[in-house]
Amino acid sequence: MAEVRRLPDPFTQFIAIAALTAVIITPAAAAADPFYLGMWKIASAVVAPWADPARPDPAEMKSIVGKVIAIKPGEIAGQRTLACKGPLYRVKDYPADWLFQGAFGEMHDRDKSADPVKIAASLGFKGSSWKTLITGCANELEYHFVDATTAEFGLDDYVYTMKKQ
């Protein structure tokens, strides 16, 4: 006698197709790295707008400019001052007065003529809101993205500009 095979019911077919689709699509979606991961060269530095021009120490600045850091899923590797093991990354949109841990907002609070948007524009920020990578590291650095290939961070009265490699 020939064996009779029954076709699965439509619900079982739907579940099987959904499971197969999830297996195929999930690795492709997971493979897309966040925009901030990669190698970043610290291209330049300027005295921060909030700094007393007589106070910044150029020695540390000169030791950082030209260096490359790697922002990886589980660490930031590079110059000791910038390195971090086990970062807890979060990305938020910041308005001008929140950039550099609120420095432009504080400048405005002290002097109402200090416009956070104009100060941000003087450092290359165009628009009214920018992606900021909060690292959760002990050094409390935040990376503010001017665009997809340029980020800035503040450290010891300097604003450093990084370029994606």
Kindly state whether residue 114 falls inside one of the protein's structural domains.
Answer: yes
pLDDT at 55 over 90: no
Kindly state whether residue 77 falls inside one of the protein's structural domains.
Answer: yes
Kindly state whether residue 142 falls inside one of the protein's structural domains.
Answer: yes
Q: Would you say the C-alpha torsion 40, 69, 75, 156 has a positive or negative sign?
A: negative
Kindly report the number of other CB atoms within 10 A of residue 161's CB atom.
19
Kindly state whether residue 11 falls inside one of the protein's structural domains.
Answer: no
Kindly state whether residue 24 falls inside one of the protein's structural domains.
Answer: no
At 107-155, the pLDDT tens digits run 999 999 999 999 999 999 999 999 999 999 999 999 999 999 999 999 9
| pTM higher than 0.85 | no
Task: Give the chain's domain count.
Answer: 1
Kindly state whether residue 89 falls inside one of the protein's structural domains.
Answer: yes
Kindly state whether residue 144 falls inside one of the protein's structural domains.
Answer: yes
At 2-20, the pLDDT tens digits run 565 555 566 555 555 555 5
Least confident range of 32-41, 82-91, 141-150: 32-41
Containing structural domain, residue 56:
38-164
3-state SS class at 63: helix
Kindly state whether residue 63 falls inside one of the protein's structural domains.
Answer: yes
Give the helix/strand (H/E) hosting 17.
helix 10-31
* pLDDT at 160 (0 to 100): 98
